[in-house]
Amino acid sequence: MTALPVVPPKEDAPATPLDALAAFHPTRSFRHDAWRRFRRNKLALLGLGLLILLVLVALIGPLLVQDPYASARDVFRTAPDAQHWFGTDQVGRDVLARVVYGIRLSLLIGLTATALETTIGIVLGAVAGWWGRFVDTVIMRIVDILLGIPYFVLAFAFIAVVGRGVSAVVITLGLTSWLTTARVVRASFLQAKMLEYVEAARAVGVPAPRIIWRHILPNVIQPVIVLAAIGLGTAVLAEAALSFLGLGVQEPTPSLGLMIARSRSFFSTCPWLLVFPGAAIMITVLGFLLVGDGLRDALDVKEQS
């Protein structure tokens, strides 16, 4: 009986079926796919461009404009001209300088407050979703009670306790805006902790904090990122609203909402006092909302390539 000749495998032949599949369709990371989907969204790119512009204004603008606190007695409520591009306000301060500093303050408050409320929401949502039972019931009932209170009533209550000013606004926004994040994280944890790989980790004795941090949280962080991006715009708008009502940032600190509040009686004669800070608020909020909407589509694992 003649033995069949052994044909050596080709050097470039795939060793396993997975290698063959990878050679036919090269694998891409989730981050690469998410960025590719984000780039396809023209509105999301517009929002990203607006945010980049605002960040540049906040970082470089203060070096190029006049002193936002300096007032001149002979230039009260002057129209935009070559010296004051956005005109001057009712006490002779340069509106452009105050808008630039107001944008920087709004971004600072928005980022800080969003970081605070996201942290609180993740921690409480993870605790409620992982341990469940009594802990879940207590945390969710607190969330339900706070959601039943109108937002500004709740904010007024916190401001009455912590006072007014920049720090008070950050604390107020952070302590009143974590409710939605906590509910989303809790729901994601309730689903993720029933998965096989989580049950296997618990069966071999992996500590709960390690399971939460290494195995569950990375898989539930995507909706939190979207909520944080949208929450940044909401925080900027809420800060402007509180300052407009006299409960947020106080004079003479430049605040976009406070500028509108102090100038509303001059709208018929000096519209630039409201138009420029109002446009800055609109552009900031629009940029965050467009980016948040784009992230929602880009991070959706069900999105078609």
The domain that holds 250 is classified in CATH as 1.10.3720.10
- Specify the number of domains making up the chain: 1
How much is the mean pLDDT over the chain? 84
Q: What is the pTM of this model?
A: 0.83
- State the burial class of residue 220 (Cβ atoms within 10 Å of its Cβ: 0-12, 13-18, 19+): buried
Structure-token match 């959601």, residue found: 147
Distance (Å, rounded) from C-alpha 100 to C-alpha 121?
31
Of the candidates 28, 27, 25, 45, the one whose C-alpha atom is nearest the C-alpha of residue 297 is 45
Contact 84, 97 (CB under 8 A): no
Cβ atoms within 10 Å of 25's Cβ, excluding its own: 7
Task: Look at residue 122 in the predicted model and tell me its pLDDT.
Answer: 92
Residues 72-104 have pLDDT tens digits of 767 777 888 888 888 888 888 889 999 999 999
184 has pLDDT over 70: yes
Q: Which domain holds residue 51?
A: 32-58+90-298
Instruction: Let me know if residue 255 belongs to a domain.
Output: yes
Distance (Å, rounded) from C-alpha 42 to C-alpha 123?
34
Cβ atoms within 10 Å of 151's Cβ, excluding its own: 15
Task: Look at residue 24 in the predicted model and tell me its pLDDT.
Answer: 47
Instruction: Let me know if residue 11 belongs to a domain.
Output: no
138 has pLDDT over 70: yes
